[in-house]
Structure 1
Amino acid sequence: MRLGFVGAGRMGRPMVRRLIEAGHEVRVLGRTAEARRALADEGAHPVAGLADAGAGADAVLVCVFTDEQVRDVCLGDALLAGMPSGSALVVHTTASPRTIEAVAARAARHGVDVIDAPVSGGPHDVAAGRITLFVGGPDEAVAQVRPALSAYGDPVLHVGPAGGGVRVKLVNNALFAAQIGLFAEAVRLGGRLGVDEAVLLGALTSGSAASRALTGVAARGSVAAFAEAAGGFLGKDVEVVRKAAAEAGCDLGALDAALTTLAAASAR
């Protein structure tokens, strides 16, 4: 496939590598001459502007950090104007459902389908080709881009129409973050019972309380260390899920207390 790529950073760069290794032609936006040289060395076709990334592409993949950045990239005409009718715009960022709806409405004017495909996992999972993708979008468009997504995604889970991917991801991230908040409470209890935090966390990974989240926390040795390392990502996504819940006219229920505990632990 002929692909454009915007956002070759911490998560995006290993995606680009996997796409190139899978035989796709990948034109990647590089903001500086130095970045474009580095991309060229890896086999990508670096471009200097959004219009060049989208021109003639079968699909453009966007992997920026924030909801605001998604709006900046996808709601202007620079990228969409050059994309052919029938192509697809794939958003990997954990964005607001309303942002995805706005992007889909704008893209439809250009005959472009929008697919939201937020990821669950880290750069090491992308590099190994096992990052989880929660995918929302029209059936035909998802089928069209699946060969590209499968270069680094496994499983690629089609969960519904456009916006479905970010909705599932927001619930996933709210639950993950709430677990970290619960671990903070568990560590507090353990301390009062005289159990060292690192010992407790390590032991719990072999018990019925084990989870992927707990394994990550235990590897850092403490809830605070994990919260510090992942705080930028967790905090961003928790803010988005709170906003999405408010827009939907609902609250976070029992998750809210755990998320509040996490915020307090992250601030220490």
Structure 2
Amino acid sequence: MKRIGFAGAGRMGLPMVRRLVAAGHAVRTVGRTPERRAALGEEGTETVGRVEDAAEDVDAFIVCVFTDRQVREVCLDGELLDALPAGAPLIVHTTASPHTVREIAARGIDVLDAPVSGGPHDIAAGRLTVFAGGDEATVERLRPVLEAYADPVLAVGPVGAGQSVKMVNNALFTAQLGLIAEAARLGRGLGIDEAALLDALGHGSAASRALAGAASRGSVDQFISDVRKFVDKDVAVVRQTAEGLGARLGALEPALAALDRTGLRAGS
């Protein structure tokens, strides 16, 4: 059993907390209001009102907030890092900038840069994918904790590599959505029902997770609308980081731009 501090028990974080508790770990969660703390307490966790209090005497601390800015607020602008016990590692599941996790590590913290691929249903089933950036010893030390809700846990390189892999993953996924939107437009021009087209393509060599998501809704635009806020903020990180490093999006760029015609402006 590990003592785990947890900040960000929301859409993705709450099912993680449930799996950690079910695996026998002692989890201390952060709830900003009495109502939220009461709800988290019903999940079998100890609840506190401040992030630094959640870090007291823990073996590891998990951050699963929504944006890079929130990671910086929790980890760099507040008192979390000072409150962490010596040697307690920090797991960052948020899709954030590689620069942010490296800055945290530069404070002398053992960081597992661990963005994820999948949704709440994958967490509940224990099959979330984790792209783990960090030294090998840290990855292996934390693998038993992560395996409460993740399989596979992929070691992809040093701190920052996890975020970089996730950025490429999200850029490719979003580009696929752009291409699928163009394919649906072509299909309509050929007189094909969109739902029938999407279903048929999923049985051919055009199959992908992006296509499966669109086919499950029967509409590319509906799927894009459903994932907009997640894709939008993640691709913004891709664009900013790539620009800062002088990296090129290349052929991904026109596919990403195709989303503008659907109303999803990934770079905004």
Q: Which range, TM-score by smaller chain?
A: over 0.9
- 1:12 is aligned to 13
- Secondary structure class of the residue paired with 2:132: strand
Q: Match for residue 203 of structure 2?
A: 206
Q: 1:30 is aligned with what amino acid?
A: G
Distance 2:206 2:146 in 1: 33
Q: Which runs of 5+ in 2 are unaligned?
A: none
- Provide the residue aligned with 2:246 in structure 1: 249
Contact 1:4 1:61 (C-alpha < 8 Å) held by counterparts? yes
Identity percentage over the alignment?
A: 59
| Backbone CA RMSD of aligned residues | 1.1
Match of 2:237 among 236, 240, 248: 240
Q: Residue 152 of structure 1: CA displacement?
A: 0.3
Count of residues in Structure 1 that have an aligned counterpart in Structure 2: 264
Q: How does 1:1-268 map to 2 (within 5 A)?
A: 1-106=2-107, 108=108, 112-267=109-264
Deviation at residue 267 of structure 1 after TM alignment? 4.3
Give 1:248 deviation, angstroms. 1.2
- CA gap of 1:89–1:243, structure 2 versus 1, over 3 A, is same
Once the two structures are overlaid, the 10-residue window that deviates more, 134-143 or 57-66, is: 134-143
Letter of the structure 2 residue corresponding to residue 15 of structure 1: M
The residue matched to 1:87 in structure 2 has which SS? coil
Contact 1:118–1:135 (8 Å) recurs in 2:
yes
Three-state SS of the structure 1 residue aligned to 2:83 is coil
Q: Shift of residue 76 of structure 1?
A: 2.7
Answer yes or no: is the 8 Å Cα contact 1:231–1:266 preserved in 2. no
1: distance between equivalents of 2:61 and 2:73? Answer: 15
Unmatched 5+ residue regions in structure 1?
none
The farther-off stretch of 74-83 and 43-52 is 74-83
